[in-house]
């Protein structure tokens, strides 16, 4: 049964890659010319085989595409676990106007309570979810280019709260040479056994995975390793590739939902790998009633947190403003490979946007 389960997973991965390889320009919508929503094609989810689309909300600095200029960046702002659109993250309209960016909210895989909390399938925990966000970013970049609008591709940013913080961390991992700056707010850092299998005494989060290798919801060791943002081997590969993003980790010292200890571990491992990470550990001394209101999971006003922590690096100008140097992973069109116990996860940018697959090790 275990062998059959692995064969089925491999067949589904191959089917997914075939589906993505046949996407044409006609499968992608046009970029809206004013603030609005659009549906883009997404990678197939093996739990529910078949075509899938993702809703993207686009917010221009001045409300229309005509407000984009040669200093305008593009920024993802990603909702929380169980949320939709722009819930639980920094307000996109404020970010667009304050930072001169096209701000994007993404209804990534399992957005909404019905699928992310109440559904029978396990919670994705940042894999396909981050690919959905990265596709949205790629789509908007391509749309700006097609419209002949100058923008600053060195100013690509990402942020999110809670589940959106997890997707931010995974997007930075799966596109390590794409972002200039990312801000994780109280996101999950790893798919621990506690969260994956709803073990007693730890986090209240339940990702609904199974230890049973014959189950459709089985969590393989490889899938669990991919979702560990602090995986030492993967961090070393990010460093070797030339990871570009300045990563801010904003986390409350009293957070038990997305455990503070996991955040400390991830930051320590990133520092050991010589990646550019800067933590902001929120304590009771930080609580000002405006930006920070809690040292627990809520943190405070997540829009103001981004604008405060990212005031200098997210600015369009200034000595501390962050810009990516070199081509993004979208433009490199290379395959990024993360070794796991039984093979490799491959994030392939041959089409420009990312497509993920698992390649088992040779028997």
pLDDT tens digits along 193-247: 999 999 998 899 999 999 999 999 999 999 999 999 999 999 999 999 999 899 9
Q: Do the Cβ atoms of 235 and 270 come closer than 8 Å?
A: yes
pLDDT the model gives residue 185: 98
- Under-70 pLDDT residues of the chain: 1-25, 363
pLDDT the model gives residue 4: 43
pLDDT the model gives residue 27: 86
Residue 301 lies in a domain: yes
pLDDT the model gives residue 22: 55
pLDDT the model gives residue 201: 86
* Rounded Cα gap, residues 194 and 50, in angstroms: 31
Q: Closest Cα to residue 101, out of 33, 149, 152, 163?
A: 152
The number of distinct structural domains making up the chain is 1
Residue 12 lies in a domain: no
Residue 342 lies in a domain: no
What is the CATH number for 108? 3.40.50.1820
Distances (CA, A) of 71 to 61, 120, 150, 311, 321: 11, 45, 8, 16, 12
Residue 66 lies in a domain: yes
pLDDT the model gives residue 25: 61
Q: Where are the beta strands (DSSP E) in the chain?
A: 36-42, 52-59, 73-78, 101-107, 156-161, 181-185, 246-252, 277-282, 335-340, 343-351, 353-360
Residue 145 lies in a domain: yes
- What are the residues facing 313 on neighbouring strands? none
pLDDT the model gives residue 227: 98
Q: Closest Cα to residue 101, out of 358, 314, 337?
A: 314
Helix (H) or strand (E) holding 214: none
Match 């962050």 to its residue by tokens. Answer: 322
Residue 212 lies in a domain: yes
What's the half-sphere exposure (Cβ side, CA atoms, 13 Å) at 192? Answer: 19
Which residues lie below 8 Å from residue 284, measured CB to CB, with a gap of 6+?
295
Residue 361 lies in a domain: no
* Rounded Cα gap, residues 180 and 187, in angstroms: 19
* Rounded Cα gap, residues 342 and 85, in angstroms: 36
pLDDT the model gives residue 2: 46
Residue 354 lies in a domain: no
Which residues lie below 8 Å from residue 249, measured CB to CB, with a gap of 6+?
184, 263, 266, 267, 277, 278, 279, 280
Q: Do the Cβ atoms of 198 and 208 come closer than 8 Å?
A: yes
pLDDT the model gives residue 9: 52
Q: Which range of residues forms the domain containing residue 259?
A: 22-324
* Rounded Cα gap, residues 173 and 355, in angstroms: 14
pLDDT the model gives residue 3: 47
Which residues lie below 8 Å from residue 173, measured CB to CB, with a gap of 6+?
130, 229, 234, 238
């Amino acid at each position: 049964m275990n062998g059959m389960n692995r064969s089925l997973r491999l067949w589904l991965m191959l089917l997914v890659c075939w589906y993505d390889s046949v996407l044409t320009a006609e499968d992608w919508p046009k970029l809206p010319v004013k603030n609005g929503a659009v549906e883009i094609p997404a990678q197939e989810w093996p739990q529910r085989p078949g075509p899938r689309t993702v809703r993207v909300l686009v917010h221009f600095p001045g409300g229309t595409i005509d407000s984009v200029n040669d200093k305008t960046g593009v920024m993802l702002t990603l909702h929380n676990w169980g949320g939709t659109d722009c819930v639980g993250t920094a307000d996109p309209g404020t970010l667009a106007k304050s930072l001169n960016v096209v701000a994007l909210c993404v209804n990534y895989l399992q957005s909404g309570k019905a699928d992310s909390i109440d559904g029978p399938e396990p919670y994705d925990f940042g894999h396909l979810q981050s690919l959905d966000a990265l596709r949205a970013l790629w789509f908007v970049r391509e749309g700006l280019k097609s419209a002949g609008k100058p923008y600053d591709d060195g100013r690509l940013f990402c942020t999110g709260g809670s589940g959106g913080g997890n997707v931010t961390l995974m997007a930075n991992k799966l596109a390590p040479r794409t972002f200039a700056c990312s801000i994780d707010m109280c996101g999950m850092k790893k798919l621990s056994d506690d969260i994956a299998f709803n073990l007693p005494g730890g986090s209240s989060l339940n990702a609904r995975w199974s230890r049973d290798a014959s189950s459709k919801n089985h969590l393989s060791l490889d899938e669990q390793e991919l979702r560990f943002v602090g995986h030492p081997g993967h961090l070393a590969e990010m460093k070797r590739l030339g990871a570009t993003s300045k990563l801010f980790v904003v986390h409350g010292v009293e957070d038990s939902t997305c455990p503070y200890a996991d955040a400390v571990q991830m930051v320590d491992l990133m520092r050991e790998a010589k990646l550019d990470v800067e933590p902001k550990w929120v304590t009771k001394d930080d609580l000002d009633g405006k930006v920070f209101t809690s040292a627990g999971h809520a943190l405070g006003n997540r829009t103001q947190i981004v604008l405060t922590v990212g005031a200098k690096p997210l600015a369009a100008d200034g000595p501390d403003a962050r810009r990516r140097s070199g081509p993004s992973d979208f433009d490199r069109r290379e395959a990024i490979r993360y070794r796991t116990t039984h093979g490799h996860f491959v994030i392939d940018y041959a089409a420009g946007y990312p497509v993920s697959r698992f390649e088992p090790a040779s028997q």
